[in-house]
Structures are given as structure tokens and as C-alpha cells.
């Protein structure tokens, strides 16, 4: 039996990262992996909230992260469950530490893109100053974690599928825009790029407001949970732009409430589980939304003919959101570690 100690498991962002594994722990026990909070363990897992402080400079955050890791005895791994494919903050700590592996929930499918500059490591925010010139030296120890935001959201929850017969909205654009507050990451303004990415989508909807009946937030102001679900469940199409990460609650909402999901093309993301297949489980649009109106019109013009997208998405969720997938993913990671026998 391999024993893994989870550090700071109840810290907010750590809890999100650990949640799918704890949900799958009964199945993991069956293959010889057990979580513990004791001091007798084979490996320690440290998640991002223990080693990243986004409120300080990147240099200060790295120093704090390395100080935290210096108190850990024995072998350990870093688990990065941040929203996006960005490695900012964890990568720098990982490469300067003795961590065996960096487990990441989603990565760029083309790993060479990490060596090209982007805004805060988010490829979809465009060119920027953050890049990982030495990524190739460490890439073989940076592996997918076998979970992602979607599994964090649904771990242990049996999905309920709803089909409202009369949809009063053509489109749900129930996402925050503008951000409304300044959000910083290591001293750099995040929210500006968050808004910049979503603005073209809203411009298109506003320009064609007379063509589509759209449910959206007024000036980005939140509504009650009940009102939110009332609106999105009454829409034929749910739009899900990228935010601080590529995945969003609306990716799940579309399947749950019987809507067709349109979001920027996810083909550049490598993640497990991956439910995104263009034309099968969702409809992809370009990252600059230049073909968004075309995709909306295509669906609304033949709405019933696109219902297969909803069924495919539901079937895919039911297939992949299972604890045995997490167990087998970890089995394949641990079986290759030195000293582990199968």
C-alpha cells in the first residue's frame, strides 16, 4: 500500500485540487493507494495554495513556496490545480525544489508553446512576457494529474439532466463582463486581460441584439443563484468564453440544462478527462469570436438537428466522471516510480 500525505487539505484552493482524489479514495484503496494525515507516508502531495501567493511578486511567491517545501521530509510531489494551463508560480518552485513530479490538471497540448511568451502564461490572452525558456529540461516530470476543474465541480454528485420544452431565450451569456474590480496576479493586472478576451463576444451580441433573445448580466452584476439557473435553463445555446481558465461552470450547465455549448476551440488543451470534441460534444468558435455569429445562426437555423450535441455531452460526462478513471491514471503514474512494485 502506498501512503500519500495531503498537506493543507482544508485550505480553499487546495481542497478543490484534492477533492476528486478524496472522492475516489475507496477505489484508490483497492489498487493500493491510500491517503493519510499522519507522519508515516511514502509520498507527500503539496497543492498550489501552499506554495503560491498571488498577492505578492512572483519572486516573493517563489521564496515562500520553497520555504514551505523545505520543511517536508521524504519524497513529495506538487499538485497544480489552478484554473488554466498556465504554470506560473508552480513551475518556478518545482524546478528549484526536490519534488519528484509536478502534477498539472491541464497543459498546453503543444508543450513547445510554454517557451513562447504569453500574458501570465495564458496562451489565449495573447503574446506577453511570461515564458519558460528551460521547459524542456523539466518537461518529462510535468504530467497530467488525471483530474481537472470539471471533475472538481462534479466529484461525488450524481448529474441531473433537465429538458425544458419551451426555451424562452436563444442564447445565455450569463458570464461576468466586465469584471468590475481590479484583480492582480503577482503584481500584474489580470482583470484587464480577462475583460479584453470576453469583450468581442459581448460586442457581437450587443450589435445583433435585435436578432437574438439573450439572457445576460447587466454590467456584469451577479444575480441570485435561483435567477441564474432560471435564465440559463431557458436558453437554447449557452456561451462559455475563457476566463481565468479555459473551463467554466457553463461547460457543465449546458449539458445539465439541455443547451448547446459554444465556446472557444479547446483543441489546444491537453487534460484528463477531456469531454471537448468539436461538433460532437460542443461547438467550437475561433478565439477571437470572428465566426461566433455564423455558429449561432447555424444552430438556431436547425436547432432540433443539433440536439445530438446535448446527448453526446451528457453521455461523455457520465462515461468519464467515474472514480476508476482517477485510480487508473494514478496507477500508471506510480507504477513507473523507482521502488514501486505492481
Instruction: List, for residues 145-157, the tens digit of each pLDDT value.
Output: 999 988 888 887 7
> Would you call 4 helix, strand, or coil by DSSP?
strand
Q: What is the pLDDT of residue 244?
A: 95
pLDDT greater than 90 at residue 342: no
What was the pLDDT predicted at 57?
Answer: 97
Q: Could you tell me if 4 and 41 are in contact, meaning their C-beta atoms sit under 8 angstroms apart? A: yes
How does strand 169-173 pair with strand 184-185? unpaired
- Indicate whether 219 pLDDT > 90: no
Distance CA 322, CA 45 (A): 22
pLDDT at 236: 98
Query: What span, in angstroms and rounded, lies between the C-alpha atoms of 297 and 13?
Result: 39
pLDDT (mean) for 203-230: 93
Digit-coded pLDDT (tens) for 287-336: 999 999 999 999 999 999 999 999 999 999 999 999 999 999 999 999 98
* 185 vs 201: CA distance, rounded Å: 24
pLDDT band at 135 (very low <50, low <70, confident <90, very high): very high
Residue 220 pLDDT greater than 90, yes or no: no
Percent of the chain topping pLDDT 90? 90
The mean pLDDT value for 16-20 works out to 95
Whether 25 contacts 53, CB under 8 Å: no
Contacts of 210 (CB under 8 A, 6+ apart): none
pTM, entire model: 0.95
pLDDT at residue number 42: 96
> In whole numbers, what is the pLDDT of the chain averaged over residues?
95
pLDDT at residue number 202: 95
Q: Name the residue with higher pLDDT: 179 or 108.
A: 108
Task: Tell me what the mean pLDDT of segment 72-98 comes to.
Answer: 97
Task: Tell the burial category of 18 from Cβ atoms under 10 Å away from its Cβ (0-12, 13-18, 19+).
Answer: buried
Residue 173: name the closest of 216, 205, 211 by CA: 216
Pure H helices in the chain: 12-23, 25-30, 48-51, 58-69, 90-96, 135-138, 149-154, 191-207, 225-232, 249-256, 292-301, 307-320, 323-334
Q: Is the confidence at residue 184, as pLDDT, over 90?
A: yes
What is the rounded CA–CA span in Å between residue 217 and residue 208?
17
Domains of the chain: 2-154+322-334 (no CATH), 169-320 (3.40.50)
Residue 341: the pLDDT is 82
Amino acid at each position: 500500500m502506498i501512503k500519500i500525505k495531503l498537506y493543507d487539505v482544508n485550505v480553499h484552493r487546495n481542497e478543490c485540487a484534492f477533492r476528486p482524489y478524496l472522492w475516489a479514495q475507496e477505489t484508490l484503496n483497492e489498487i493500493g493507494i491510500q491517503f493519510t494525515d499522519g507522519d508515516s507516508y511514502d509520498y507527500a502531495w503539496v497543492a498550489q495554495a501552499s506554495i503560491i501567493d498571488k498577492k505578492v511578486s512572483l519572486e516573493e511567491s517563489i521564496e515562500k513556496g520553497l520555504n514551505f517545501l523545505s520543511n517536508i521530509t521524504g519524497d513529495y510531489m506538487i499538485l497544480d490545480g489552478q484554473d488554466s494551463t498556465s504554470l506560473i508560480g508552480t513551475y518556478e518552485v518545482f524546478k528549484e525544489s526536490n519534488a519528484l513530479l509536478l502534477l498539472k490538471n491541464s497543459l498546453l497540448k503543444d508543450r513547445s508553446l510554454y517557451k513562447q511568451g504569453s500574458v501570465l502564461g495564458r496562451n489565449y490572452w495573447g503574446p506577453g512576457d511570461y515564458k519558460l525558456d528551460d521547459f524542456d529540461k523539466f518537461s518529462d516530470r510535468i504530467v497530467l494529474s488525471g483530474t481537472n476543474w470539471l471533475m472538481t465541480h462534479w466529484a461525488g454528485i450524481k448529474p441531473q439532466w433537465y429538458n425544458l420544452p419551451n426555451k424562452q431565450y436563444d442564447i445565455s451569456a450569463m458570464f461576468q463582463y466586465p469584471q468590475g474590480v481590479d484583480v492582480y496576479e503577482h503584481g500584474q493586472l489580470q482583470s484587464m486581460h480577462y475583460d479584453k478576451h470576453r469583450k468581442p463576444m459581448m460586442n457581437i451580441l450587443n450589435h445583433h441584439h435585435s436578432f437574438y433573445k439573450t439572457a445576460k448580466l447587466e454590467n456584469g452584476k451577479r444575480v441570485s443563484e435561483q435567477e441564474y439557473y432560471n435564465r440559463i435553463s431557458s436558453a437554447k445555446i449557452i456561451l462559455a468564453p475563457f476566463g481565468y481558465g479555459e473551463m467554466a461552470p457553463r461547460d457543465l450547465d449546458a449539458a445539465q440544462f439541455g443547451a448547446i455549448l459554444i465556446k472557444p476551440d479547446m483543441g489546444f488543451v491537453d487534460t484528463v478527462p477531456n469531454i471537448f470534441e468539436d461538433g460532437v460534444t460542443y461547438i467550437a468558435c475561433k478565439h477571437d469570436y470572428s465566426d461566433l455569429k455564423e455558429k449561432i445562426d447555424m444552430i438556431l437555423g436547425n436547432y432540433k438537428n443539433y440536439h445530438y450535441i446535448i446527448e453526446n455531452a451528457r453521455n461523455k460526462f457520465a462515461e468519464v466522471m467515474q472514480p476508476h478513471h482517477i485510480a487508473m491514471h494514478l496507477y500508471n503514474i506510480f507504477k513507473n516510480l523507482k521502488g514501486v512494485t505492481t
